[in-house]
A and B are shown apart, each in its own frame.
Chain A
């Protein structure tokens, strides 16, 4: 099962490589990873998605907590949460396809952020399933480039991760 793990950590050089190194050293998999400083510039918020059995997930959260730079860890999948990802997708758009792609983008609440006479670049946000659905809805031969940020997430309501 896919898990969304949120990590609050010191915004120190090398902190990210400790997280990434832990995953490779112990044979765990990172599917997506996104990280940026928070409103407090001394802290970074990292979201990663990973898979594995309950036992593996238990070890992952324990090992993340063990890292000295890590302040707090939560597996967002344990409760209600919001998950979003941003995708920029550049597609070939010529002839009658131009209108069809525009309509498809609207249906998915995407924004066309760059236009040439041969292409559109569409910005889309949502959870991973939505990204996947949009990619599948497009004609694959039309896709020129796909850039995804990976998921970031936050717990719903009173589920708050802070110092």
Chain B
């Protein structure tokens, strides 16, 4: 029996096991929406802006290991989605974005709501397709899902002209896995390289383990924990990798980088063997690459993407492969190397003594106050009230760094933020996606009064679908991170970083039909959080009026070396 392209899209999604699709209708996708109306395999979540659809699908993937799916119309539907797609691309998130396109015969004629979708999205997708024949539609959809979730994951866009959605073709569910001659990701690491790595690790006197989002994407946290404990080395997780190794473990030395801990950065620089796993030595993590390379340490780099290796930092032992697979191999061979456990401890004792001295600087301490709410303390209280077991999404800025620094993540996929692209406005749609993927989980969005306004319309989506994240707004009446840089690098000239005429968030949120509180007194922080999380079936917006002048410490200024850290305002 022949079915329409629109019905075929719906069937393909169902056959891929898709349960939720985030989207927004429009002219070019009306046949697809008509097909959605007549099916019950997946739920469609109607957002209020296409950017939020993509962010929500992105967080759905981040928090669940499933491929996120977004559906948008042609032209402005796509251009609104681009920020979301680029955000997912930078963080290697598996997603399929389906976009409508004007009918095939109208392409190139500057038709209403036409844009060159494949051209516009090309630099920010893992791959994209324009479907030109309904007969190719099913295979294209399958390839899209396959490419999105395998290898180094990433967003894949399928652009479907309207006439394709009404044309008819036969459909039979796929029998076997996709095979592509031009795409076959490496899984197994090179044995010779793994042996070399083991030799280095066994002989290391000051080993250090540095892991990124790749460990979480590969679902390899257990293997990581096993290897870290086996080697006995300090371990740091990047912003994208938080939760891969438990933050409450003694071997965890905090996050590295621009706002990393003193002990993490010092260990990164002063180790003799650095084992990097699923991380990419980006500028926010290692600072100035020339300074970073001054240390004579040996570097082992495990990554599924060969182009991540020796991109910014020359490495000694590259291992290309699936992180989980390579970790298993490293564990087996490290064990086989048979290094005596007590000898191991002894040989690392001096190194740990050094690491503990650095940790003793207590770089995350801050001055508490009875008069003004310290943003860091809100995050600490949030951890206490949620017993460290919530899904935390964040936007981008100071609040993001404080959430990363002070909410200790013990599990992977609990910390959802835009690490690579640094997209303000992701926090609320991220919370929606996380909540859809994990309906019974506690979800909180740590945001600021600047970021939240970038997608605040999604409060309406939350109302429609009874999504109940708790929104922790650290409101300092400044674009805080911009203000901090202006204070430090631009002579305290606060150019356009003060948000005058802020809305009355309480009134605004209540107008959307949710609960809101404004908290100004430090003594009320804990009570407000408890009250909010007790309201399990409501979205609660907590507007914390925080210290306007607080900065994120430590800080490595852009272009500086990793160990050239500023530890507090007194060093300015």
Contact = CB atoms under 8 A, between A and B. Distances in A.
Interface in B110-135: 118-119, 122-123, 126-127, 130, 132
B311 interface: yes
A18 B130 contact: no
Nearest to B147: A68
Interface stretch (B302-310, B374-382, B523-531): B302-310
B307 A66 contact: yes
B438 to A, nearest CB: 31
Nearest to B143: A68
Contacts of B122: 14, 17-18, 21
A59 interface: yes
Range for the number of chain B residues in contact with chain A: 20 to 34
Q: Which of B130, B306, B307 has the most CB of A within 10 A?
A: B307
Contacts of B37: none
A23 B119 CA distance: 15
A59 B307 contact: yes
B311 A9 contact: no
Range for the number of chain A residues in contact with chain B: 20 to 34
A25 B86 CA distance: 14
A13 interface: yes
B181 interface: yes
Given A9-B182, A14-B118, A14-B130, A21 B310 contact: no
Contacts of B147: 68
A69 B182 contact: yes
A13 B127 contact: no
B310 A58 contact: yes
A18 B126 CA distance: 11
A65 B130 CA distance: 21
A163 B181 contact: yes
Contacts of B118: 14
Contacts of A33: none
Contact of B310 (A14, A25, A55, A71): A55
A55 B306 CA distance: 13
A81 interface: no
Given A13-B130, A68-B126, A62 B182 contact: no
B423 to A, nearest CB: 19
B160 to A, nearest CB: 15
Contact of A62 (B123, B130, B307, B314): B307
Interface in A13-69: 13-14, 17-18, 21, 25, 55, 58-59, 62-63, 65-66, 68-69
Contacts of B309: 62
Nearest to A63: B307
A25 B123 contact: yes
A112 B124 CA distance: 48
A21 B127 CA distance: 13
A9 B183 CA distance: 11
A79 B74 CA distance: 48
Contacts of B132: 13
Nearest to A24: B123
A5 interface: no
A17 B127 CA distance: 12
A55 B310 CA distance: 8
A66 B132 CA distance: 24
Contacts of B182: 9-10, 68-71
Contacts of A10: 182
Nearest to A71: B182
Contacts of A18: 122
A14 B132 CA distance: 13
Given A17-B119, A69-B182, A70-B182, A62 B306 contact: yes
Interface in A68-83: 68-71
Contacts of B127: 68-69
Nearest to B185: A66
Given A13-B130, A163-B181, A65 B119 contact: no
A17 B119 CA distance: 9
Interface string A88-128: 00000000000000000000000000000000000000000
Contacts of B123: 21, 25
A72 B80 CA distance: 35
A68 to B, nearest CB: 4
Contacts of A25: 123
Contact of A66 (B119, B130, B180, B305): B305
Contacts of A163: 181
Interface of B: 118-119, 122-123, 126-127, 130, 132, 147, 180-183, 305-307, 309-311, 314
9 contacts: A14-B118, A21-B122, A25-B123, A55-B314, A59-B310, A66-B305, A66-B306, A70-B182, A71-B181
Given A14-B122, A17-B122, 13 more contacts: A9-B182, A18-B122, A25-B123, A55-B314, A59-B310, A62-B309, A66-B305, A66-B306, A68-B127, A68-B182, A70-B182, A71-B181, A163-B181
List the 6 closest pairs (A to B, CB-CB), nearest first. A62-B307, A68-B127, A71-B182, A62-B306, A68-B183, A25-B123
